[in-house]
Amino acid sequence: MGSYSLQTIELLKNEIPVEQDSLLLSGDVKTGLVLVDIVNGFCTVGSGNLAPQAPDKQISGMVDESVKLAKMFCEKKWPIYALLDSHHPDIPEPPYPPHCIAGTDESKLVPDLQFLENEPNATLRCKGCIDGFLGSFEKDGSNVFVDWVKTNEIKAILVVGICTDICVLDFVCSALSARNRGLLTPLKDVIVYSHGCATFDFPIHVSRNIKGALAHPQELMHHIGLYMAKGRGAKVVSEVSFGTE
């Protein structure tokens, strides 16, 4: 990325600043961790059409932060809800190319999170759509995420994962709407951890050579995702710590 585009991104960020707080998890407020799509198909280099093609700092940083949080939540036996993008091979998801086909490695949690498959406090949910809230509906109309919030009496959710401006944002927006509509009692706060989120990079200098392609500069789109989430009523934090009040 040239210094010109870095400057441009800084200018744009200054037009829509996102103030970020820090979060202290003391155990007083029952908090659940939501992991959005931290699967190989989005996070592991070379693992399919939507995986990074080369090591990516923002994505690997997001994975590291999420792993740390998941381990802490397990240690404390606090609830975790992990969404896994997972598609039937015959059902495409436009505008995206085939990705995270059910049963393949792409739709599995990244290696450092696979321990969650055996953790009693973790609920894993495969979803065949962008929005993890919609993807949590069962055929009978019940919703696994809603039930998870109610059963565990969760008052706040801490959301991390990928992509900040796509699956994370859509899930956050739906959760906020459901909360406002009274469907998620006792949930009060939807909190997005900025360093626990990432998005993919498809810079303008690449996209302009591909007909019909939509540019997606990583740093800017990550910021816009956080901005949109905050605009809908989520809290955005840049620091998470554990301790007593």
Contacts of residue 24, Cβ cutoff 8 Å, sequence gap at least 6:
241, 242, 243, 245
Shortest separation between residue 234's beta carbon and Zn ion, angstroms:
22
Shortest separation between residue 37's beta carbon and Zn ion, angstroms:
8
| Mask for 28-67, x = binds Zn ion (CB under 5 A) | ----------------------------------------
Shortest separation between residue 85's beta carbon and Zn ion, angstroms:
4
Closer residue to Zn ion in complex, CB, 56/170: 170
Question: Which one of the spans 78-86, 117-125, 156-164, 222-230 is the region binding Zn ion (CB under 5 A)?
Answer: 78-86
For the purposes of burial, counting CB atoms within 10 Å of the CB of 177, is it exposed (0-12), middle (13-18) or buried (19 or more)? middle
Can you list the pairs that 16-21 forms with residues at least 24 positions away whose Cβ atoms lie under 8 Å? 16/223, 16/224, 16/227, 18/194, 18/223, 18/226, 18/227, 18/230, 18/236, 19/236, 20/194, 20/226, 20/236, 20/237, 20/238, 20/239, 21/235, 21/236, 21/237, 21/238
Shortest separation between residue 114's beta carbon and Zn ion, angstroms:
20
Phi, psi of 19 (to 5 degrees): -75, 135
Contacts of residue 219, Cβ cutoff 8 Å, sequence gap at least 6:
9, 58
Closer residue to Zn ion in complex, CB, 107/152: 107
Q: Which amino acid is at 29?
A: V
Number of residues that bind Zn ion (CB under 5 A): 2
Shortest separation between residue 11's beta carbon and Zn ion, angstroms:
33
For the purposes of burial, counting CB atoms within 10 Å of the CB of 49, is it exposed (0-12), middle (13-18) or buried (19 or more)? exposed
Give the H/E segment covering residue 12.
helix 3-15
Residue nearest to Zn ion (CB): 85
Closer residue to Zn ion in complex, CB, 76/88: 88
For Zn ion, the binding residue among 56, 65, 85, 170 (CB under 5 A) is 85
* DSSP one-letter code for 44: S
Question: Which one of the spans 7-15, 83-91, 111-119, 191-199 is the region binding Zn ion (CB under 5 A)?
Answer: 83-91
* 106 binds Zn ion per the rule CB under 5 A: no
Closer residue to Zn ion in complex, CB, 16/91: 91
| Mask for 115-154, x = binds Zn ion (CB under 5 A) | ----------------------------------------
Q: Residues interacting with Zn ion, by CB under 5 A?
A: 85, 93
